[in-house]
């Protein structure tokens, strides 16, 4: 890096057009960007898969790196002029390997779903059998849903949770693995509040000769922050999104054992994608650096503590925490005791400035579009700096919204309290003058 770069702070001149340019050129879109910021600031963001990135990550996403085509990998690109973006990807790869103790990293997938497409491509052929967690029990679309490529092109056999304790049924998983001899076994979910026993899954994979794939999208940030055990030592491949607890830009990433590095890289490019989004790769590199700090580790621990507090507080409000509570950043709440469905609760909370999602609970008697549950997560509110006292308040606001959020004036009153709470924990505050 030259002296010029070190002496001069990064200004608009270096990282690209500023927001004022957007306002001048396209006030219509700029107005939406502003009102979305206001929505994020004024409401409670409890979607378990969302977070607030640092301004540095946002700056990378809006930078001139977005202009560069860089098909291929550092040192082996199909376009000229990649010497600068090569540095970003090399730094990011090293940071990922270091942070997770991984043998190989690929930061190019545009999303979690596309990372998963690459995993299927690296290890299986269409028609092969894969064992993965059932969507109604907390799995993901790309784990074999019939409306997704995974369910259309692969023979995906699903395992689930036990009805009595709502925890993964490892006996069933093993029985299914022995019966179906899958090429690959996937663990990971979008609505599973407990920890996964990766050692046990590894044993089952070894017993049947399957590739162990962990889709860690939801919890990888907790792993990065050392708040929960890592799947990396056990798994052949770990895929994830970078924008959840990890607090990076929207995108995907893959970690793998060295033996699978070539297969993964080939599956990402040219197998599944063309040019990587280098601005997002830079954002991922920045987030990985942030994750390696003691501050992030304290954050990850606090996310779990807050979620446990919130789940307990919702139980105190008369609801039921699926699987008896949570060990992660998300809680799945059975709200049948309120007499309201997940769909209605989602709408009523939305009316009251609380953003969360309806979610099927295991063995849900309702359809997936209606559901008996809600899913709440504490990644975003913890980034804002909220703690146990705020979780108690949030639980009471949720309970009131579920009960009264269909009444316009009551919803308005709840929303005012939500605004007041959020204003004490400002999102992207203006810099002090
Ligand atoms: N849509 C994500 C979630 O909310 O869990 C998973 O892809």
Cα dihedral 263/268/274/280 (nearest 10): -140
Annotate 212-245 with three-state secondary structure.
EEEECCCCHHHHHCCCCCCCCCCCCEEEEECCCC
| 326-383 residue pLDDT tens | 999 999 999 999 999 999 999 999 999 999 999 999 999 999 999 999 999 999 999 9
| Token representation of residue 98 | 């270091």
| 120-170 residue pLDDT tens | 999 999 999 999 999 999 999 999 999 999 999 999 999 999 999 999 999
Whether pLDDT at 115 is above 60: yes
Closest by Cα among 262, 138, 135 to 194 = 138
- Say yes or no: CB of residue 112 within 6 Å of ligand 1: yes
Q: Is position 428 annotated as part of the catalytic site?
A: no
Whether pLDDT at 4 is above 80: no
DSSP state of 141: G
Mean of the per-residue pLDDT values of the chain: 95
Whether pLDDT at 256 is above 90: yes
pLDDT at 1: 42
- Say yes or no: CB of residue 114 within 6 Å of ligand 1: no
Task: Give residue 21's pLDDT band: very low, low, confident or very high (50, 70, 90).
Answer: confident
- Say yes or no: CB of residue 49 within 6 Å of ligand 1: yes
pLDDT at 8: 45
Q: Can you list the pairs that 309-312 forms with residues at least 24 positions away whose Cβ atoms lie under 8 Å?
A: 309/388, 309/391, 309/392, 310/376, 310/378, 310/391, 310/394, 310/395, 311/193, 311/376
Q: Is position 433 annotated as part of the catalytic site?
A: no
CA of 144 to the centre of ligand 1 (A): 15
Task: Give residue 22's pLDDT band: very low, low, confident or very high (50, 70, 90).
Answer: confident
DSSP state of 283: H
Residue tagged 């005791």 (tokens): 337
131 contacts 182 by C-beta, under 8 angstroms:
yes
Whether pLDDT at 12 is above 80: no
Q: How far apart (Å, rounded) are the C-alpha atoms in residues 225 and 39?
A: 28
Task: Give residue 7's pLDDT band: very low, low, confident or very high (50, 70, 90).
Answer: very low
Q: Is position 95 annotated as part of the catalytic site?
A: no
Q: Are the folds of 64-291 and 302-423 the same?
A: no
Residue to probe by mutation, ligand 1, list 117, 190, 251, most atoms within 8 Å of CB: 190
DSSP track, 41-71: HHSEE--TT-----HHHHHHHTSGGGG----
Q: Which atom of ligand 1 is nearest to the CA of 50?
A: 4
Nearest CA residue ID for atom 4, ligand 1: 49
CA of 190 to the centre of ligand 1 (A): 6
| 380-407 residue pLDDT tens | 999 999 999 999 999 999 999 999 999 9
Angle at alpha carbon of residue 145, lines to 144 and 146, rounded to 5°:
110
| Angstrom distances, CA of residue 373 to CA of 45, 251, 322, 383, 384 | 17, 28, 9, 25, 25
Extents of the domains making up the chain: 64-291, 302-423
CA of 337 to the centre of ligand 1 (A): 26
CATH topology classification for 64-291 = 3.40.640
397 contacts 414 by C-beta, under 8 angstroms:
yes
Residue tagged 């939500």 (tokens): 418
Cβ neighbours of residue 47 closer than 8 Å, sequence gap 6 or more? 355, 356, 357, 375, 377, 380
DSSP track, 83-122: HHHHHHHHHHHHHHHHHHT-SEEE---SSHHHHHHHHHHH
Q: How far apart (Å, rounded) are the C-alpha atoms in residues 348 and 195?
A: 31
Q: How far apart (Å, rounded) are the C-alpha atoms in residues 386 and 306?
A: 8
Architecture of the domain spanning 302-423: Alpha-Beta Complex (3.90)
Q: Is position 328 annotated as part of the catalytic site?
A: no
Whether pLDDT at 18 is above 70: no
Q: Is position 26 annotated as part of the catalytic site?
A: no
The DSSP element (H or E) to which 158 belongs, if any, is strand 155-159
| 281-334 residue pLDDT tens | 999 999 999 999 999 999 999 999 999 999 999 999 999 999 999 999 999 999
CA of 125 to the centre of ligand 1 (A): 25
* Residue of 89, 166, 215, 346 marked active site: 215
Q: Is position 215 annotated as part of the catalytic site?
A: yes
């Amino acid at each position: 890096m030259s002296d010029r770069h070190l002496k001069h702070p990064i200004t608009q001149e270096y990282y690209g057009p500023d927001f004022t340019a957007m306002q001048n050129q396209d006030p219509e879109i700029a107005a939406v960007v502003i009102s979305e910021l206001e929505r994020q600031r004024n409401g409670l963001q409890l979607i378990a898969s969302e977070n607030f990135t640092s301004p540095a990550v946002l700056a990378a996403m809006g930078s001139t790196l977005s202009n560069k085509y860089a098909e291929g990998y550092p040192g082996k690109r199909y376009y000229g002029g990649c010497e600068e973006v090569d540095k970003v990807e090399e730094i990011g790869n090293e940071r990922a390997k270091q942070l997770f103790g991984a043998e190989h990293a690929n930061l190019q997938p545009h999303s979690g779903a596309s990372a998963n497409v690459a995993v299927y491509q690296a290890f299986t052929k269409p028609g092969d059998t894969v064992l993965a967690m059932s969507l109604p029990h907390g799995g993901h679309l790309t784990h074999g849903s019939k409306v997704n490529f995974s369910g259309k092109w692969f023979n995906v056999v699903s395992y689930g949770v036990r009805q009595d304790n709502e925890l993964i049924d490892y006996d069933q998983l093993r029985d299914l693995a022995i019966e179906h001899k899958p090429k690959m076994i996937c663990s990971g979910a979008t609505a599973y509040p407990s920890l996964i026993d990766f050692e046990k899954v590894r044993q089952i994979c070894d017993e049947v000769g399957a590739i162990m794939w962990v889709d860690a999208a939801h919890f990888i940030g907790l792993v990065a922050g050392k708040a929960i055990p890592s799947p990396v030592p056990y798994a052949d491949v770990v895929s994830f999104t970078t924008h959840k607890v990890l607090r990076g830009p929207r995108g995907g990433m893959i970690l793998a054992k060295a033996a699978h590095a070539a297969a993964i890289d080939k599956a990402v490019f040219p197998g599944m994608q063309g040019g990587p989004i280098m601005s997002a790769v830079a954002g991922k590199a920045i987030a990985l650096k942030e994750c390696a700090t003691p501050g992030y580790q304290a954050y990850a621990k606090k996310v779990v503590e807050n979620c446990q507090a919130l789940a307990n507080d919702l139980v105190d409000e008369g609801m039921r925490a699926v699987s008896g509570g949570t060990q992660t950043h998300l809680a799945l709440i059975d709200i049948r005791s309120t007499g309201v469905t997940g769909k209605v609760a989602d709408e009523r909370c939305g009316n009251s400035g609380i953003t969360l999602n309806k979610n099927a609970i295991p063995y849900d008697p309702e359809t997936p579009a209606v559901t008996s549950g809600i899913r709440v997560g504490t990644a975003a509110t913890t980034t804002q700096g909220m703690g146990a006292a705020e979780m108690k308040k949030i639980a009471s606001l949720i309970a009131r919204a579920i009960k009264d959020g269909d009444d316009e004036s009551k919803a308005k009153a709840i929303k005012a309290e939500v605004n007041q709470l959020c204003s004490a924990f400002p999102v992207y505050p203006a810099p002090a003058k």
